[in-house]
């Protein structure tokens, strides 16, 4: 179970969560327990990571039938694949014989899934089609792989471990007009980074939900990124002018840019880059010569999309960047970043990996250090929840509204009341 090896009872989890929720103060960072306690981490897994739609990666990672990727949500391994009929499917990566993982590679290609232990063999549809020495009475139809909900939102693959998956169509409808012009299905992954941060997953998300820290920490990112979060962000002057100019250009191209009201569930907006910058590169120049999809204009800033609980994205004119957060323990989180360009772009001619990835490699590294220092400080005897800036950190307030609501709902579920 958890890193400490301790088994925590459901009552202990509920009690710890109830107490910590009661200690929360609106507008303030969370009480220490939310970033550190094993019991609350277990509650996070059940209330959030086993219930919500979790981002897996860009669909272009599975271009052909037989392609698969594996991911693990804390201790639950999942396999996501493209079946022979082109449909994306997801299954628990656990053999129906004695439970062995079927697949131990992060990604690969296969015609069938063969368990390495005793070679029970499954079709990509999940059907068990071959076993040895199981006797005449054995009915293999009764042992298909266990399916997991899966969907692609315009090229972004999500899975959900819950029996009944929550709505994702509101998100789909809202973001599709923004990201479709970037044709994510016609891209390929050209770079990937996986880092482990010694910080609670919520600190990693909180760090991403504000740019209060950008000026002091992200010189490379600020070559391109404007620190505004909304087109009429009161903190800025010059950016407001850039937004107006670019807004007119994007209107003329039929590209939506206004902020979408995603409540606390998601955020989607197109924002410009700084004057003269076309991409999130060190020199602001395009990361790839080939524009995405059928785009003809390089000056598109980026569509910034965020969705609870574990992903954010930048869709540029010539590149997309996807960020996936997975909890590994109360103080340990994996962040995977993938960079995609047009499927026909040629390395060395259209793009260069160092040029394309440098800004976010540096930025991720800086954010890792910030989240880890934040984590260390929340362990202090002297830690006391502090006030967020409503002006600069309103997106964290949104995130925590959602988080606290999700935890309250989970506690209220039938059968979960405190004894
Ligand atoms: O660009 C991002 O992904 C976010 C938005 C604000 C801070 N952070 C760098
Ligand atoms: Fe898979 Fe035995 S555990 S074949
Ligand atoms: Fe940052």
Per-residue model confidence (pLDDT) at position 381? 97
Mutate to test the pocket of ligand 1, among 206, 208, 274, 306 (most ligand atoms within 8 A of CB): 208
| Residue nearest (by alpha carbon) to ligand 2 atom 4 | 118
Per-residue model confidence (pLDDT) at position 86? 98
Ligand 2 atom closest to the CA of 96, numbered from 1: 1
Q: How far is the CA of 290 from the centre of ligand 2 (A)?
A: 46
**Crossing angle of helices 10-23 and 394-412, rounded to 10°:** 140
Per-residue model confidence (pLDDT) at position 229? 84
| Residue nearest (by alpha carbon) to ligand 2 atom 3 | 98
| Residue nearest (by alpha carbon) to ligand 2 atom 2 | 118
Q: Is the CB of 120 inside a 6 Å radius of any atom of ligand 2?
A: yes
Instruction: Summarize pLDDT for 35-49 with one digit per residue, the tens.
Output: 999 999 999 999 999
DSSP structure string for 312-328 = EEEE-SS-EEEEEEEEE
Ligand 2 atom closest to the CA of 118, numbered from 1: 4
In which residue ranges of the chain is pLDDT below 70?
1-7, 234, 417-419
Q: Is the peptide bond before 309 cis (omega within 30 degrees of 0)?
A: yes
Per-residue model confidence (pLDDT) at position 1? 44
| Residue nearest (by alpha carbon) to ligand 1 atom 4 | 208
Q: How far is the CA of 121 from the centre of ligand 1 (A)?
A: 44
CA-CA-CA-CA dihedral for 138, 141, 147, 150, to nearest 10: 160
Per-residue three-class SS string for 215-233: HHHCCCHHHCECCCCCCCC
User: In 3D, which of 203, 315, 310, 210 has the Cα closest to residue 266?
Assistant: 310
User: In 3D, which of 377, 365, 307 has the Cα closest to residue 335?
Assistant: 365
- Give the H or E element holding residue 369: helix 353-378
Instruction: Summarize pLDDT for 208-229 with one digit per residue, the tens.
Output: 999 999 999 999 999 999 988 8
Q: Is the CB of 118 inside a 6 Å radius of any atom of ligand 2?
A: yes
User: In 3D, which of 322, 402, 335, 401 has the Cα closest to residue 364?
Assistant: 335
Q: Which tokens hold the place of 317?
A: 């004119």
User: Hey, how many other C-beta atoms are within 10 angstroms of the C-beta on 252?
Assistant: 9
Question: Residues 134, 141: contact at Cβ < 8 Å?
Answer: no
Question: Residues 318, 289: contact at Cβ < 8 Å?
Answer: yes
User: Which residue ranges have their beta carbon within 6 Å of ligand 1?
Assistant: 208, 211, 214, 225, 312
Ligand 2 atom closest to the CA of 115, numbered from 1: 1
The CATH 3.90.380.10 portion of the chain extends over 166-379
Which residues place a Cβ less than 5 A from the ion ligand 3? 367
Fold topology of 53-153: Rieske Iron-sulfur Protein (2.102.10)
Mutate to test the pocket of ligand 1, among 203, 312, 360 (most ligand atoms within 8 A of CB): 312
Q: Is the CB of 98 inside a 6 Å radius of any atom of ligand 2?
A: yes
Q: How far is the CA of 111 from the centre of ligand 1 (A)?
A: 40
The CATH 2.102.10.10 portion of the chain extends over 53-153
Q: CA-based angle 353:355:357, to the nearest 5? A: 65
Fold topology of 166-379: Naphthalene 1,2-dioxygenase Alpha Subunit; Chain A, domain 1 (3.90.380)
Per-residue model confidence (pLDDT) at position 250? 98
Q: Is the CB of 117 inside a 6 Å radius of any atom of ligand 2?
A: yes
Per-residue model confidence (pLDDT) at position 166? 98
pTM for the model stands at 0.96
Per-residue model confidence (pLDDT) at position 231? 81
Phi, psi of 262 (to 5 degrees): -100, 15
Q: Which tokens hold the place of 352?
A: 């260069």
Per-residue model confidence (pLDDT) at position 415? 73
Go through 183-205 and write b for each residue having 16 or more CB atoms within 10 A of its CB, e for each that does not. bbeebebbbbeeeebebbbbbbb
């Amino acid at each position: 179970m958890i890193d400490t090896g301790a088994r925590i009872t459901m009552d202990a989890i509920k009690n710890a969560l109830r107490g910590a929720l009661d200690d929360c103060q609106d507008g303030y960072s969370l009480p220490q327990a939310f970033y550190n306690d094993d019991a609350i981490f277990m509650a996070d897994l059940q209330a959030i990571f086993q219930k919500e739609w979790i981002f897996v990666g860009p669909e272009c990672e599975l271009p052909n039938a037989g392609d698969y990727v594996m991911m693990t949500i804390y201790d639950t391994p999942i396999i996501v694949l493209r079946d022979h009929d082109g449909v994306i499917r997801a299954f628990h990566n656990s053999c129906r014989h004695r439970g062995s993982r079927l697949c131990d590679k992060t990604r690969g290609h296969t015609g069938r899934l063969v368990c390495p232990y005793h070679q029970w063999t499954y079709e990509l549809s999940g059907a068990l089609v071959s076993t040895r020495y199981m006797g005449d009475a054995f009915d293999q139809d009764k042992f298909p792989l266990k399916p997991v909900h899966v969907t692609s939102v315009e090229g972004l693959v999500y899975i959900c471990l819950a029996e009944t998956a929550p709505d994702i169509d509101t998100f789909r409808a809202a973001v599709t007009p923004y990201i479709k012009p970037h044709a994510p299905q016609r891209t390929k992954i050209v770079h990937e980074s996986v880092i482990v941060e010694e910080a609670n997953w919520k600190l990693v998300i909180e760090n991403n939900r504000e740019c209060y820290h950008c000026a002091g920490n992200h010189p490379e990112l600020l070559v391109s990124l404007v620190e505004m979060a909304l087109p009429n962000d009161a903190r800025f002057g010059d950016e407001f002018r850039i937004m107006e100019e670019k807004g007119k250009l994007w209107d003329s191209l039929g590209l939506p840019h206004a902020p979408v009201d995603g409540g606390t569930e998601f955020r989607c907006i197109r924002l410009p880059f700084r004057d003269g910058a076309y991409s999130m590169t060190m020199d602001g120049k395009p990361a790839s010569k080939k524009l995405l999809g059928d785009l003809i204009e390089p000056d598109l800033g980026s569509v910034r999309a965020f969705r609870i609980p574990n992903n954010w994205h930048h869709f540029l004119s010539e590149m997309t960047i996807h960020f996936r957060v997975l909890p590994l323990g109360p103080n340990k989180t994996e962040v995977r970043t993938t960079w995609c360009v047009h499927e026909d772009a040629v390395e060395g001619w259209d793009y260069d990996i160092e040029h394309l990835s440098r800004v976010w490699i540096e930025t991720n590294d800086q954010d890792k250090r910030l989240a880890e220092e934040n984590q260390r400080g929340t362990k202090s005897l002297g830690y006391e929840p502090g006030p967020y800036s409503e002006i600069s950190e309103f997106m964290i307030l949104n995130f925590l509204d959602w988080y606290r609501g999700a935890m309250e709902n989970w506690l209220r579920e039938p059968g979960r009341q405190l004894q």
